[in-house]
């Protein structure tokens, strides 16, 4: 009897230990789930993103997050390689203009609607342009306008009013010293987006880039008018040439030294980047203010259009799609997460995110002003313009403008090459 009790007790102990071990093994296994997230950005964005991820991990101890971030240069090429090879992170930040290119490699987020809290945080209007073949491929972090901003400290010094039109911008030349430019160039060291060009052509023609069937509206003649307008700005020293930009020591991903010195007085910039530039100028003793969305004499459109800025997507190759959705939901919709990130990703499109920043008074007056003015002037006929802001057209634009500004080609040849580049993209963009 004594031995039977011993054996019975030992059996219970072993069983209890086994169950405990299974519990620990199961718990340990759950804790080993690791997901990856990638984004691009500067130091300020990287800092708040990592802080938000740390907060997420504290609330979700069974999910570990590995962050992979870099500058914008080369980011898309890396994404293309990873998506093609099935090695992309579980959560990827993309530019909305890339979605069409990757549409066969991204999860339809409607299948994770509950985990992402889509219906309670995003309007159908904010998502429609992110759908391809009726699949929702990304959730927008913010809506992006690209207004004209100006250095108010400098304009006050030279008794210049905030420019409201292209004509005002040109007239600034007479009031500024020779080593100043009324505006910065539209292109960076390695960045050639034709976005400002879209505004100018739309103002001149009243047309979006493509018609309802995705066919190019602009002719070679339209591109010649555009190139001549740009060339006039360079020749009259309203903006520095691409050659001047290169000689100014501009580094991709960093503000031009001349901008921080106050010698490039205005600039076009996305709202998502405004807070960073504002802080950088304030460090130099300058005040950044909104000029607006410059008009043009006899314009046929305001030329103002908007785009979803960055989006969060999940690749089909991810083996942790629900955990990935949980992280996206937290970063976009959680009150504390939004307070941590502030405006480093722009003013949130998420209703919960925006409300959190409004209640905490974290949406700056300048950001609010940009949004209000943009909503007043936006031309809804231009809603798909952003889809033409592709990596291929960015490269073509930078190449054409560089050769034009270095005197390698004339305006007619530049217009011809622009037209050819856009025609080649016609089928792939829409």
Task: Flag whether pLDDT at 287 surpasses 50.
Answer: yes
Neighbours of 420 (CB within 10 A): 14
Residue 346 lies in a domain: yes
Instruction: Let me know whether 274 and 330 are in one domain.
Output: no
Q: Assess whether 332 and 214 both reside in one domain.
A: no
The reply to whether 9 falls in a domain is no
For the question of whether the overall pTM of this predicted structure is more than 0.85, the answer is no
At 74, which CATH number?
A: 3.40.190.10
- Domain C-terminal end among 341, 356, 379: 379
Residue 16 lies in a domain: no
The domain containing residue 276 runs over which residues?
A: 148-303+390-427
**Per-residue pLDDT, 429:** 62
Count of structural domains within the chain: 2
Asked whether the predicted pLDDT for residue 24 surpasses 50, the reply is: no
In a domain, 5, yes or no: no
> Are both 298 and 313 inside the same structural domain?
no
More confident of the two residues 429 and 389: 389
Q: Is 25 part of any domain?
A: no
Residues in Cβ contact with 383 at an 8 Å cutoff, skipping those fewer than 6 apart: 129, 208, 305, 306
How many Cα neighbours within 13 Å face the side chain of 110? Answer: 11
Average pLDDT, the chain: 88
Q: Please indicate, yes or no, if residue 331 is contained in any of the structural domains.
A: yes
Are residues 136 and 155 both part of a single domain? Answer: no
Question: CA separation (Å) from 2 to 13, 14, 280, 390?
Answer: 16, 18, 82, 82
**Among 328, 429, 322, 331, which residue's Cα sits nearest to residue 33?**
322
Residue 115 included in any domain: yes
The pLDDT tens digits for 155-198 are 999 999 999 999 999 999 999 999 999 999 887 656 667 878 88
Region 387-392 average pLDDT:
79
- d(CA 383, CA 359) in angstroms, rounded, equals 30
pLDDT of residue 370: 93
Cα separations in angstroms, 155 against 69, 177, 321: 37, 12, 51
To the nearest whole percent, how much of the chain has pLDDT over 70? 89
Q: Are residues 71 and 167 in the same domain?
A: no
State the pLDDT confidence band at 252, using cuts at 50, 70 and 90. Answer: low
């Amino acid at each position: 009897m004594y031995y039977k009790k011993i054996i019975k007790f030992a059996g219970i102990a072993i069983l209890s230990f086994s169950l405990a071990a299974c519990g620990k093994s199961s718990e340990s296994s759950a804790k080993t789930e690791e997901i990856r997230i990638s984004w691009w950005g500067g130091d300020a964005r990287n800092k708040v993103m990592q802080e938000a991820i740390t907060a997420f991990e504290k609330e979700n101890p069974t999910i570990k997050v590995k962050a992979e971030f870099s500058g914008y240069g080369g980011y898309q090429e890396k994404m293309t390689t990873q998506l093609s090879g099935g090695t992309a992170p579980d959560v990827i930040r993309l530019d909305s203009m890339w979605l069409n290119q990757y549409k066969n490699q991204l999860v339809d987020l409607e299948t994770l609607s509950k985990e992402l809290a889509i219906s309670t945080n995003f309007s159908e209007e904010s998502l429609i342009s992110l759908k391809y073949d009726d699949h929702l491929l990304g959730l927008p972090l913010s809506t992006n306008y690209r207004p004209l901003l100006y250095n108010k400290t400098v304009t006050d010094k030279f008794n210049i009013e905030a420019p409201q039109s292209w004509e005002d911008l040109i007239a600034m030349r007479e009031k500024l010293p020779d080593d100043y430019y009324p505006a910065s160039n539209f292109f960076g060291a390695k960045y050639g987006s034709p976005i400002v060009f879209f505004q100018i052509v739309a103002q001149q023609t009243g047309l979006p880039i493509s018609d309802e069937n995705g066919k190019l509206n602009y002719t070679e003649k339209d591109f010649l008018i555009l190139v001549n307008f740009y060339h006039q700005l360079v020749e009259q020293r309203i903006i520095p040439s691409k050659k001047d930009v290169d000689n100014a020591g501009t580094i991709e991903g960093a503000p031009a030294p001349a901008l921080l010195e106050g010698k490039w007085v205005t600039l076009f910039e996305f709202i998502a980047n405004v807070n960073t530039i504002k802080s950088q100028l304030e460090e130099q003793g300058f005040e950044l203010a909104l000029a607006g969305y410059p008009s043009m004499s006899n314009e046929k459109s305001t030329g103002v259009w908007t785009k979803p800025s960055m989006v969060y997507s999940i690749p089909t190759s991810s083996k942790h799609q629900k955990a990935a959705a949980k992280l996206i939901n937290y970063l976009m919709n959680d009150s504390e997460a939004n307070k941590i990130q502030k405006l480093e990703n722009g003013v949130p499109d998420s209703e919960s995110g925006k409300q959190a920043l409004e209640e905490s008074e974290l949406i700056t007056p300048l950001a609010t002003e940009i949004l209000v003015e943009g909503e007043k002037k936006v031309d809804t006929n231009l809603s798909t313009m952003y889809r033409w802001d592709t990596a291929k057209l960015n490269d073509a634009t930078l190449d054409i403008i560089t050769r034009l500004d270095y005197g390698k080609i004339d305006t007619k040849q530049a217009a011809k090459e622009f037209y050819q580049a856009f025609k080649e993209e016609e089928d792939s963009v829409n």
